[in-house]
Amino acid sequence: MKKVIKKGNAYFQCEECLLLYKDKTMAEKCERFCKKYKGCNLEITKHAIKVD
Ligand SMILES: [Zn+2]
């Protein structure tokens, strides 16, 4: 999980699936799940934020 700055806002990125989260806890959950199951959990990824 790493912190990234996009358009002046801080986000937390899952280093496995590269999705961005506002919430550090969600990013950690996502990364833990992604690493373990090699796939994403919809219940987690629905909290991901789309930033272009
Ligand atoms: Zn992930």
pLDDT tens sequence across 11-50 = 999 999 999 999 999 999 999 999 999 999 999 999 999 9
| Distance (Å) from CA 45 to ligand 1 centroid | 7
The alpha carbon of 14 and the centre of ligand 1 are apart by a number of angstroms equal to 5
The domain ranges of the chain are 2-45
- What average pLDDT does the structure give for the chain? 96
The per-residue pLDDT for 52 is 75
**DSSP string across 14-43:** -TTT--EESSHHHHHHHHHHHHHHSS--HH
CA of 49 to the centre of ligand 1 (A): 12
Q: How far is ligand 1, taken at its centre, from the CA of residue 1, in Å?
A: 9
